[in-house]
Structure 1
Amino acid sequence: MESEAKTYVQTKIKNQSETHLVQRIRPHIELIAALFSGVLILAGWILDRNDLSTASVTAYVLAFVIGGFAKAKEGIEETIANKELNVEMLMIFAAIGSAIIGYWTEGAILIFIFAVSGALETYTMNKSHKEISALMDLQPEEALLIRDGIEKKVHVSHLQIGDLIFIKPGERVPSDGKIVDGSTNLDEAAITGESIPISKGMADEVFAGTVNLNGAITVEITKKNDETLFHKIIQLVQSAQSEKSPSQLFIEKFEGKYVKIVLAVVVLMMFFPHFLLGWSWNETFYRAMILLVVASPCALVASIMPATLSAISNGARKGILFKGGVHLENLSHLKAIAFDKTGTLTKGKPEVTDFIVKTGLNHDEILQKAASIENQSTHPLANAVVKYANKHLQVSFIRPEGLEDVAGWGVKAKIGHESWKIGKAAFIGKDEASSFANGIASKLAQEGKTVVFAQRNEEIVAIIALKDVVRTETKDAINQLKKQGIYTMMLTGDSQTTAYAIASESHVNDFIAECLPEEKVNHLKKLKKDYANVAMVGDGINDAPALATANVGIAMGEGTDVALETADVVLMKNDLPKIAEAIELSRRMNKIVKQNVVFSITVIMILIASNFLQILDLPYGVIGHEGSTILVILNSLRLLRN
């Protein structure tokens, strides 16, 4: 019994090892077959040199079958499915034709190099899908569910909205949700590409696939497993890799007609040179076979797709998600970019820039009392004041009395025997507000800042200036775009004064203020008329109509769901310099595609001309044609590098 158990375990381990080996070999099976066919060709050549013709032909036939199986299968299946001849069929005809006239070695070498180029193309495809596979491996399959005080491991697909899950330090977050207990630092590199951990606490969002670094947290599920941001990123990149660019679609459409023309010319060449030029039948058929090889547009067909896949893969690795090759290709043609202000050029949240206290009063005391009152409000401006106080004070807040929130104006409260008002100038008295500190409020307003006054016992004691601060990287991002020759414009619903201040600080070429969402669409249409190719950058929510109108819509990652659905390009980290990087990647891709197309067409023309002049032999035709295909694919693979 013990012996049987031991045998069972050994068999199981052996089967698992074999399965693992097969999984490791499978991605390289085409290349292995190609290399094995190369060994068979060498064996066939050696056997032929030793006058073992039967054995030599057998080796060549095996080389044909083993090396050409994958591409022949692909070509036949596509021909049946599309009812259209393709490049693979030309190669099959050329190899068979070479064998018919006795050029076994040349035909086998043709199959060998064609198989190597096919393996390289498959490698490019696998490489471009590698990031997706890596991402999919990042999401845990199980989660620790808390229900009725009991912890239970469940598959992530069983999680429902509202469920509570417990995530320990070092574990990956299994699904999107919000923290309801605990605090931690999260590594969000899988989502944003940012390597610096982000601090998270109560009510903060967490995303599937991110890593909980140092604190135990309880998370409430807010999305189903197939609706998480992580899942949508995977779907987005998969979709992008399957969507073809206009150039690729043109080449594929052109390929079918071109193959028919080549076959027609080859058929004519099998007869006309013999009657018109006096070539022998053997020479005529030989030249027809060479034409079949060299006129095949393999390199031309391989000029675009590997480059596009490599560029999309490169962008995904850097947190730049393209929804398809068409958008990647269009980026390089941009002449102008329009930016939303809030959340795009700016941080999207007001911050206190100035806290000016009346001369003779204690700065910290006034700040403490003003912040204590604002701490009772949920208004964004009030939150900014509290945040500012927390940063600059070492004392705790005071509990105010008789708090009254006057909607649209400000807040009233009492602290001890003091009566306080915090709000607009009209709320505390316009005349007194305008004269405070030599009229500094007017100067602050001209700088695009929102001014709030603090009044104690009918006396203005402080003025608070707040502003939606420009992102630190905005200026550099805009300057990079200008260097690329792109016109920049800001579209915002803010006042003329605020828009002018932000535009000046951001370095954009121009701005349009007091702009409603529907008006942004009209301004974009005008930009398209003036500049032809225009992009819109926004947060993907109120900018959705404008993002859809632009030639290329670029969304900031914080727009999450709406951004992923509306835009053509998504910056997973709100990093504006990535736009210039994406444009540069697009330009590199188009440059490499042009190099590939020009090179492949030039090689085909030279080889065809050489064949008609009877100076090109089949071996050199094979090497020239298939070598150009391999070089084109290798050139495209350069886009995988940073």
Structure 2
Amino acid sequence: MEESKVLLRKAEENQSVTLMERIKPHLELIAALISGVLILAGWIVSRNITGVLSNSLFLLAFVIGGFAKAKEGIEETIANKDLNVEMLMIFAAIGSAIIGYWAEGAILIFIFAVSGALETYTMSKSQKEIYSLMDLQPENALRIVDGREEQVPVSSLEIGDILLVKPGERIPSDGIINKGTTTIDEAAISGESLPVTKELGSEVFAGTVNINGAIAIEVTKPNNETLFQKIIQLVQSAQSEKSPSQQFIERFEGTYVKVVLLVVLLMMFIPHFALGWSWTATFYRAMILLVVASPCALVASIMPATLSAISNGAKHGILFKGGVHLENLGHIRAIAFDKTGTLTKGKPQVTNALVREGMETNDLLQTIASIENQSNHPLAMAIVRYAREKGVNTLISPDHIEDIPGWGIKAIVNKEEWLIGKADFVGLEEAAAFYPEDVQQIEAQGKTTVYARNSTGIAAMLALQDIVREETKTAVQTLKEMGIRTIMLTGDSQKTAKVIAGEALVDEYIAECLPETKVDEIKKTINRYGSVAMVGDGINDAPALATANVGIAMGEGTDVALETADVVLMKNDLPRIAEAILLSKRMNRIVKQNVFFSISVIVVLIASNFFQILNLPYGVIGHEGSTILVILNSLRLLRSR
């Protein structure tokens, strides 16, 4: 009996906690609504009963409705040693009560509390994508140990663990498939609605959904380093970083508040002596000025819009690393693209192989593939695949390897030095004399040539071709229609670059670019166009991404992409660039609308007050109403269009 009572009590406590958790995010709005009810009751009482009771109700409305904002204002004033708009509202409400305008002061607090609750709602709404992402990661995983299945917490997983993921379950950790094939819904990571086919060796990410096949995956990253966690950290960091406009407004706020208080102080005396107003009228007008001159709407013009835009982007697989990058993206006039993996698919194929007379093709391919296997460059990986297709199943370990970015690889195999890379790297004159007619014909087709040279001269030339993405032309054309200049940067030869640039429809191209020369070209482009974005894969393009005004990584969720650029597109989907720019332009446009509207309202209300047209209730409604409208306008950015 006692045990059942204890269980019942615990159940009631849990239910109570759950109820409090549900109510907590809405406490500010609830307080505002209670304040409104008290104001209505006070107004009804004031028409039938003495003013003491009605004023008591109004005072209660002051305390309940204004507590949260008053606390926030006082804490920020103490912390920053500077005044803010919350303090202006407190002073205005107290001043209204001092001259007997209890109802007007209470209405001011009520509407200010409603606008504050709406701003809090905007921030929580903008963070909804993060919380929804957090909810997607499973808490437990099914680990296979010695053929047995055991359920363990995701936090306890280690690299190398083998997990079983059944159809319909979420993948608990980043890994690679070592058994089975399936299709995966990666919408939570990339924003892509169509499922992706995954097979043996394919990479999978935590939080994505296994649709139709049981698979075993090998964990490749600890729980705190998964792509899923990095996305959450990225968006959280972006939401805490302020744009230049927001920083300016916040610096401006402190000075503006002091100026308003000084002008209000003068307004309490000068009209009485200069214009013959009564003391009551003078003080009343000063209180109205304190209300209508407050920059509440101006302060709320930027942050809600920025947070809404960041959340919208995250929902569609576009991650902004901060408000500054989101704001800058809308101002770019030119975009420089890396070629491989950005404009092209990044998976070139060997189409031609020319071998020096007297050399055994398979032995030569084994040596070249063994060297290239030490690199993760797309061309190197393509050569290794080609060698395996030609029957080279065993690779040897080079004695020495030196990767020279932008040029090629120097290696020693069986005590013989090999150079593999561009014609300039292996020896331009010798390369030019190696099957010149065939090579000239191959290069005219826009193919990339890679030479292999040993101690006796050029041993082979491999031609590779990368295919332009199907969506590249559409994306580039869209950017052109937006008035943005498109430029391709590539390490390929002039002939190859010209062919690829023609297929991709870019405005211009710059060939034979090394990683360091890409930086120089970005600087030149900035001098020509002012604001420039660089799009790359985040590896060799890292210096150029850092140099551009906005660096955009097309990384399909790679670690390097997440760490390098200012904006990350979770899929190698070029049209997302145009979407990101349009989102930035929408945000900048809405911010301008908010700023212009809020300043206009302040000017009109101040002028109306000076000419004694405006009464306090209408001043309160006009001022706080403009703040609410500005926040609602910002919320439009949560919609896709």
Could you say which TM-score interval applies, normalised by the shorter chain?
A: 0.7 to 0.9
Aligned to 1:532: 530
Aligned to 2:115: 117
Q: Which amino acid aligns with 2:90?
A: I
Structure 2 matches for 1:441-520, cutoff 5 A? Answer: 443-449=441-447, 466-520=464-518
Gap change, CA 1:189 and 1:401, over 3 Å in 2: closer
Deviates more, 1:28-37 or 1:577-586: 28-37
Aligned to 1:573: 571
Query: Conserved in 1, the CA contact under 8 Å of 2:227 and 2:557?
Result: no
Q: Give 3-state SS (helix, strand or coil) of 1:515's partner.
A: coil
The alpha carbon displacement at 1:384 in A equals 6.4
Alpha-carbon distance between aligned partners in 1 of 2:299 and 2:394, rounded to the nearest angstrom: 77
Aligned to 1:173: 171
Q: Which amino acid aligns with 1:91?
A: M
Query: Conserved in 2, the CA contact under 8 Å of 1:341 and 1:490?
Result: yes
Alpha-carbon distance between aligned partners in 2 of 1:531 and 1:447, rounded to the nearest angstrom: 32
Alpha-carbon distance between aligned partners in 1 of 2:144 and 2:530, rounded to the nearest angstrom: 56
Alpha-carbon distance between aligned partners in 1 of 2:602 and 2:68, rounded to the nearest angstrom: 24
Alpha-carbon distance between aligned partners in 2 of 1:576 and 1:539, rounded to the nearest angstrom: 12
Aligned to 2:268: 270
Query: Deviation digits for residues 272-311 of structure 1, max 9, x if unmatched?
Result: 1111111111011101100110010000000000000011
Alpha-carbon distance between aligned partners in 2 of 1:61 and 1:404, rounded to the nearest angstrom: 85
Gap change, CA 1:641 and 1:37, over 3 Å in 2: same
Alpha-carbon distance between aligned partners in 1 of 2:108 and 2:304, rounded to the nearest angstrom: 21
Aligned to 1:640: 638
Q: Which amino acid aligns with 1:472?
A: E
Query: Deviation digits for residues 14-56 of structure 1, max 9, x if unmatched?
Result: 3333222222222221111111111110000000000332221
Query: Deviation digits for residues 384-437 of structure 1, max 9, x if unmatched?
Result: 6699x9xxxxxxx9x7999999999xxxxxxxxxxxxxxx9xxxxx999888xx
Aligned to 2:359: none
The reply to whether residue 7 of structure 1 matches residue 8 of structure 2 is: no
Alpha-carbon distance between aligned partners in 1 of 2:624 and 2:318, rounded to the nearest angstrom: 34
Q: Give 3-state SS (helix, strand or coil) of 1:470's partner.
A: coil
The reply to whether residue 29 of structure 1 matches residue 31 of structure 2 is: no
Aligned to 2:180: 182
The alpha carbon displacement at 1:187 in A equals 1.2
Structure 2 matches for 1:40-439, cutoff 5 A? Answer: 40-351=38-349, 380-381=381-382
Query: Conserved in 2, the CA contact under 8 Å of 1:540 and 1:559?
Result: no
The alpha carbon displacement at 1:495 in A equals 1.3
Alpha-carbon distance between aligned partners in 2 of 1:616 and 1:352, rounded to the nearest angstrom: 79
Q: Give 3-state SS (helix, strand or coil) of 1:508's partner.
A: coil
Deviates more, 1:285-294 or 1:21-30: 21-30
Deviates more, 1:319-328 or 1:136-145: 136-145
RMSD value, Cα: 3.2
The reply to whether residue 601 of structure 1 matches residue 613 of structure 2 is: no
Gap change, CA 1:316 and 1:400, over 3 Å in 2: closer
Query: Conserved in 1, the CA contact under 8 Å of 2:184 and 2:198?
Result: yes
Aligned to 2:612: 614
Query: Conserved in 2, the CA contact under 8 Å of 1:524 and 1:546?
Result: yes
Q: Which amino acid aligns with 2:35?
A: S
Query: Deviation digits for residues 229-250 of structure 1, max 9, x if unmatched?
Result: 1111100000000000000000
Q: Give 3-state SS (helix, strand or coil) of 1:321's partner.
A: strand
Q: Which amino acid aligns with 2:108?
A: L
Q: Which amino acid aligns with 1:32?
A: I
Alpha-carbon distance between aligned partners in 2 of 1:401 and 1:85, rounded to the nearest angstrom: 73
Query: Deviation digits for residues 604-628 of structure 1, max 9, x if unmatched?
Result: 1111111111111111111111111
The alpha carbon displacement at 1:149 in A equals 3.5
The alpha carbon displacement at 1:144 in A equals 1.9
What is the TM-score normalised by the length of structure 2?
0.85
Q: Give 3-state SS (helix, strand or coil) of 1:469's partner.
A: coil
Gap change, CA 1:104 and 1:495, over 3 Å in 2: same
In structure 2, stretches of 5+ residues that fail to align are 354-364, 374-379, 402-407, 409-421, 423-431, 451-460
Equivalent pairs counted in the alignment come to 586
The alpha carbon displacement at 1:466 in A equals 4.8
Gap change, CA 1:250 and 1:195, over 3 Å in 2: same
Q: Which amino acid aligns with 1:267?
A: L
Gap change, CA 1:210 and 1:401, over 3 Å in 2: closer
The alpha carbon displacement at 1:197 in A equals 1.5
The alpha carbon displacement at 1:450 in A equals 5.1
Deviates more, 1:22-31 or 1:123-132: 22-31
The alpha carbon displacement at 1:381 in A equals 4.1
What is the TM-score normalised by the length of structure 1?
0.85
Query: Conserved in 2, the CA contact under 8 Å of 1:350 and 1:384?
Result: no
Query: Conserved in 2, the CA contact under 8 Å of 1:539 and 1:559?
Result: no
Q: Which amino acid aligns with 1:22?
A: M
Alpha-carbon distance between aligned partners in 1 of 2:328 and 2:107, rounded to the nearest angstrom: 39
Alpha-carbon distance between aligned partners in 2 of 1:352 and 1:36, rounded to the nearest angstrom: 73
Query: Deviation digits for residues 188-236 of structure 1, max 9, x if unmatched?
Result: 1111111222222222211111111222222222111111111111000
Query: Deviation digits for residues 151-188 of structure 1, max 9, x if unmatched?
Result: 32222222222222222222111111112222222111
Query: Conserved in 2, the CA contact under 8 Å of 1:90 and 1:296?
Result: yes
Alpha-carbon distance between aligned partners in 2 of 1:303 and 1:400, rounded to the nearest angstrom: 64
Query: Conserved in 1, the CA contact under 8 Å of 2:557 and 2:570?
Result: no
Gap change, CA 1:382 and 1:535, over 3 Å in 2: closer
Gap change, CA 1:445 and 1:5, over 3 Å in 2: same
Q: Which amino acid aligns with 1:561?
A: D
Alpha-carbon distance between aligned partners in 2 of 1:45 and 1:401, rounded to the nearest angstrom: 89
Q: Which amino acid aligns with 1:573?
A: K
Alpha-carbon distance between aligned partners in 2 of 1:312 and 1:249, rounded to the nearest angstrom: 17
Alpha-carbon distance between aligned partners in 2 of 1:581 and 1:35, rounded to the nearest angstrom: 39
Q: Which amino acid aligns with 1:66?
A: I
Query: Deviation digits for residues 42-87 of structure 1, max 9, x if unmatched?
Result: 0000000003322211111111111111111111110111110100
Q: Give 3-state SS (helix, strand or coil) of 1:162's partner.
A: coil
Q: Give 3-state SS (helix, strand or coil) of 1:214's partner.
A: coil
Alpha-carbon distance between aligned partners in 2 of 1:266 and 1:432, rounded to the nearest angstrom: 86
Aligned to 1:459: none
Gap change, CA 1:497 and 1:270, over 3 Å in 2: same
Aligned to 1:521: 519
Alpha-carbon distance between aligned partners in 2 of 1:431 and 1:243, rounded to the nearest angstrom: 57
Alpha-carbon distance between aligned partners in 2 of 1:21 and 1:502, rounded to the nearest angstrom: 61
Deviates more, 1:610-619 or 1:215-224: 215-224
Q: Give 3-state SS (helix, strand or coil) of 2:194's partner.
A: coil
Q: Give 3-state SS (helix, strand or coil) of 2:35's partner.
A: helix
Query: Conserved in 1, the CA contact under 8 Å of 2:490 and 2:513?
Result: yes
Query: Conserved in 1, the CA contact under 8 Å of 2:58 and 2:102?
Result: yes
Deviates more, 1:176-185 or 1:631-640: 176-185
Aligned to 1:358: none
Alpha-carbon distance between aligned partners in 1 of 2:4 and 2:394, rounded to the nearest angstrom: 80
Q: Which amino acid aligns with 2:76?
A: E
In structure 1, stretches of 5+ residues that fail to align are 356-370, 390-396, 409-423, 425-429, 453-462
Alpha-carbon distance between aligned partners in 2 of 1:403 and 1:79, rounded to the nearest angstrom: 69
Query: Conserved in 2, the CA contact under 8 Å of 1:185 and 1:213?
Result: yes
Q: Give 3-state SS (helix, strand or coil) of 1:537's partner.
A: strand
Aligned to 1:460: none
Query: Conserved in 1, the CA contact under 8 Å of 2:557 and 2:571?
Result: no
